[in-house]
Amino acid sequence: MPNLTSKYFSLLFLLGLACATALAQNNHLWYNKPAQKWTDALPIGNGRLGAMIFAGPSVDHIQFNEETLWSGKPRNYNKKGASAYLPQIRKLLFEGKQKEAEDLAQQQFMGLLSETGDRKKWVEEMHSRKGMVGNAALAQYDDRDWKTIQVPSYEGWEAVGLANLDGAVWFRTTFDVPESWLGKNLVLDLNRIRDQDFTYINGQLVGNTDGNEPRKYTIPAKLLKKGLNTIAIQVLNYFDKGGLAGYKDKTKKIGIYPEGQSIDQGISLVKAWKYKIQNEDPPEVAQYQASYQPFGDVKLYFKQPKLPISNYKRSLDLSTAIAQTSFDLGGVTYVREYFASAPNQAIVIRLSSNKLASISFDAELASVHRKSVVQVSDNHSLALNVEVKDGALKGVARLTAVLKGGTVSIVNQKISINRADEVTLYLTAGTNFIDAKDVSGNPDLANVKALVGLKDKSYAVVKADHIKEYQSYYNSFSVNFGASENENLPTDERLEKFATSHDAAFAGLYMQYGRYLLISSSRPGTQPANLQGIWNDLLSPPWGSKYTTNINLEMNYWPTEVLNLSALNDPLFKKIEGLSRSGQETAKDYYNARGWVLHHNTDIWNATAPINASNHGIWVSGAGWLSTHLWEHYLFTKDKAFLETEGYPLMKGAAMFFMDFLVKDPKTGWLISTPSNSPENGGLVAGPTMDHQIIRSLFKNCIEASKVLGKDEAFRKNLITKLQQLAPNQIGKFGQLQEWLQDIDDTTNKHRHVSHLWGVFPGNDITWDGDAKMMQAAKQSLIYRGDDATGWSLAWKINFWARFKDGDHAMKLVKLLMKPAGNGSGSYLNLFDAHPPFQIDGNFGGSAGLAEMIVQSHQGYLDLLPALPSDLPFGEIKGLCARGGFELNINWDKGRLTGLEVKSKAGGVCKIKYKNQAISIDTKVGGIYKVSSDLKVL
């Protein structure tokens, strides 16, 4: 009987998988091997909690995050009195003295750094060998009990065994000096060391460097002896990656050789060295802004027979937001399901099989934070307490096991489960963060609430509630680009073949994956999606995994309106409100202006001051750009109440800043933005084109909003006056749209930022209908800039080419975005966007770009299939949204429109254009209008 039951279960399971594959393949990512690294793992999230699923059959790893665990603390970011230097900075720029302006701005105009520890004292203590027994620099020092580590590691000692370590570490090795080298000076070439080193040969100091410059030390001949000589290096690492980094190009070796020769005639030091950790508590390093932090890890160690595994599969169903792992082992089929429930605020892991009493494993809860402690709550649950280094935030996570059959106990601080029929694990987490000014919360409160809510609920109910809530967002849109023979391939193989095969369905999957990621990282009531959405496994993530506001945060929210996820704007809009408050202080302190300003980066603490370096950190248009999202929300929804109470007040505040900030250019007489920059390109300047496009759009939007609301007539008139004086877009000597006030564009510049095309997309400052000549100049600029780019830049260019109505060129870039990430941009195996490294904005920008090829509405009418690529000859899309409050179902075949259905959410005239045809429909609220392929209302 057990045999028959097993076979019946397996048959039903396989039939279910086959049916699901046939019906909803375009909603699945799947693989026939476990994740080997973080960017292979599959993401789940409920907006607040996120997790990465590795799905190993014998050891499973679930790395998790909670959105409010950041470094730093509430503090003042603004430098008082900075505005006193504004006139001098402007004067220097007007005189063409860019370097002098940047130097002055770096000294007097940047934001305040966070507190710093006493580095001098710590270095002295480390140099005096505090915490060590004996002198590790000496040749005769006994290091027999030291561990070994591979040297070098360009990605830091974290990549070769010393995870998340900052501090002081000694390294030792020996080299054999031949007799022919005696009497000669030697060169010790170590290249990069992070951050400071004291390097000794046979106990004598030969070099000490603090910084990122290459280490190439001369060893005097008198220090050397025939035979074995000892190298000892004390490395002091203050923050981020540490250790002997060597060369990024691994073909170049670190080593030692006679003066006048090269490493090819020398001794390679690429090998295992001995090491000893001296200290793990370096002084706090000053930071301009905070970084998003990982929370912890769940590891599941399975007690199962060491037999071959077959039929392995891991998958992610985008339609239900449930990841699944399944495989056969010893005649038993095992199934695991994982999802992040928003209704129950928990990450849920359910383990089952087709044989009773076959689930046995140990569950471990851990964290990469050095200040972390695991505690036993009871015989079926653990608690993890973490504290962010040098910060104000603390977190508590709980892992709770619910069993059907079997036994559970705590053994060696692990939940030990034996012979269960089924097991459900609930992972919850919370922090003491309340808001950007208040960290007085109880970090365990979120756990208590979640676990009380889960009490007495069955897994089936929890799962059903999760699916219902998730699908309230996901099911608002569907896309079908037709069938593909590649649909039966694992996702990694599909990705490999996409650029050279006909797999339009994969582009549809990518659109839905973008929507899935946004739903999973940005629910109403949560923080907005950051540079990595909600997923991060590093204490020092790239760019702090924060909010870069000179494109990246904005790109994250490009899909919301057009792909029918309007409600997911809530975290962004709440963030804008918070930034407007801190931005008022920055506007006053730096520019003596009203309103609010935001520079090119922010964090969970709502920093708005300029950061990093003056040649790119002083960019004033963040508030203006974010304000366009508020206006776009009104255009897509026609929600007048939102405009009046939320949107317009914030837009007006951003416009007030620019009314005070703009100054007259002494050469042209135009009002210009200065000091500022064309993001991350060209340094600090007067009058970058992008700024003027954003300001012009902001002023126009405020003018229209004031008319809609019937208020602020005097303010409106002032805006109109300023608008007429604002510097216009200009065409340069190469037929290009100028990036700066002066015609200084370099046609060989391939910079990733294409900021001066903001007016093409996401703005509508430059359109075919409005100024075809300027649109052509913008296109020429993009041609000069080229196709190759980082991930998010490719996504932006897709949208540009869609606006230029060149669908095949746009699709060419889609294929670059959706290629396997190697040394450059593309997509990782889990389809995360590769900047590289991982940045989620490319996923969101790419999804929006595909929609932009199908329908555009920024010129006041629905432009149908304006940039349809030949690779998408067939399509059925339901739920695509357009400005004016319209929701569209659109079909095409063989590259031609076959039908359109328009739902009017707000009433009013709907103008439609397709090729050379145009119609207008006088719609009513809630009305549905069917239109034929020749634009006849049916």
Domain count within the chain: 4
| Residue in this structure with the two tokens 């050469």, named with its chain if needed | 667
- Pair 53, 164 in one domain: no
| Calpha distance 879→480 (Å, rounded) | 12
**222 in any annotated domain:** yes
**446 in any annotated domain:** yes
Q: Which of 849, 870, 888 is the last residue of a domain?
A: 849
pLDDT at 2: 36
- Pair 757, 834 in one domain: yes
**717 in any annotated domain:** yes
Q: Which of 681, 696, 728 is the last residue of a domain?
A: 728
User: Taking residues 188-213, what's their average pLDDT?
Assistant: 96
Supply 574's token pair. 């709440």
388 beta partners = none
| Calpha distance 77→112 (Å, rounded) | 5
728: DSSP letter: P
Kindly report, residue by residue over 246-259, the tens digit of the pLDDT: 999 989 999 999 99
pLDDT at 304: 87
Cis peptide before 258 (omega within 30 of 0): no
- Pair 704, 758 in one domain: no
Contact present, 152 and 242 (Cβ < 8 Å): no
For residue 709, the domain's CATH number is: 1.50.10.10
Q: Which of 787, 822, 849 is the last residue of a domain?
A: 849
- Pair 707, 749 in one domain: no
Selection from 337, 356, 357 nearest residue 348 by Cα: 337
607 half-sphere exposure, CB direction, 13 A CA radius: 32
**Residues contacting residue 50 through CB under 8 Å, at least 6 positions apart:** 43, 44, 64, 65, 67, 340, 520, 521, 533, 534, 535
**In the chain, pLDDT over 70 holds for what percent of residues?**
97
3-state secondary structure of 106: helix
| Calpha distance 785→783 (Å, rounded) | 5
Tell me the CA distances in angstroms from 371 to 201, 242, 367, 393, one per residue in order. Answer: 36, 19, 9, 12
Kindly report, residue by residue over 337-375, the tens digit of the pLDDT: 999 999 999 999 999 999 999 999 999 999 999 999 999
| Calpha distance 18→12 (Å, rounded) | 10
Residue type, 199: T
| Calpha distance 874→895 (Å, rounded) | 6
| Rg of the chain, C-alpha, whole Å | 30
- Pair 261, 373 in one domain: no
- Kindly list the strands in the beta sheet with 862-864, ordered across the sheet, starting from the edge strand earlier in the chain: 855-856, 862-864, 908-914, 917-923
| Calpha distance 358→338 (Å, rounded) | 19
- Pair 165, 275 in one domain: yes
**Per-residue pLDDT at 17 exceeds 80:** no
Instruction: Please tell me the least confidently modeled range out of 17-26, 626-635, 874-883.
Output: 17-26
pLDDT at 16: 40
Q: What is the pTM of this model?
A: 0.94
**Per-residue pLDDT at 14 exceeds 50:** no
- Pair 699, 825 in one domain: no
**Per-residue pLDDT at 7 exceeds 90:** no
76 half-sphere exposure, CB direction, 13 A CA radius: 6
User: Taking residues 287-293, what's their average pLDDT?
Assistant: 97
| Calpha distance 775→436 (Å, rounded) | 42
pLDDT at 163: 85
3-state secondary structure of 190: strand
| Residue in this structure with the two tokens 């064309």, named with its chain if needed | 678
| Residue in this structure with the two tokens 């919370």, named with its chain if needed | 430
- Pair 192, 333 in one domain: no
- Pair 586, 718 in one domain: yes
Kindly report, residue by residue over 881-919, the tens digit of the pLDDT: 999 999 999 999 999 999 999 999 999 999 999 999 999
Contact present, 214 and 191 (Cβ < 8 Å): yes
**914 in any annotated domain:** no
- Pair 168, 201 in one domain: yes
Selection from 311, 357, 317, 315 nearest residue 333 by Cα: 311
**392 in any annotated domain:** yes
- Pair 628, 757 in one domain: no
pLDDT at 638: 98
Supply 281's token pair. 């508590």
pLDDT at 23: 39
**216 in any annotated domain:** yes
391: DSSP letter: S
The number of helix segments (H) and strand segments (E) in the chain equals: 21, 44
Kindly report, residue by residue over 140-161, the tens digit of the pLDDT: 999 999 999 999 999 899 989 9
For residue 231, the domain's CATH number is: 2.60.120.260
Supply 193's token pair. 């060391």
Say if strands 547-548 and 601-602 run parallel, antiparallel, or are unpaired: antiparallel
| Calpha distance 239→174 (Å, rounded) | 28
pLDDT at 26: 75
- Pair 554, 459 in one domain: no
6 pLDDT tier (thresholds 50, 70, 90): very low
Cis peptide before 305 (omega within 30 of 0): no
| Calpha distance 569→103 (Å, rounded) | 39
Domain span including residue 371: 2-69+292-466
**Per-residue pLDDT at 780 exceeds 50:** yes
The whole-chain average pLDDT of the chain stands at 95
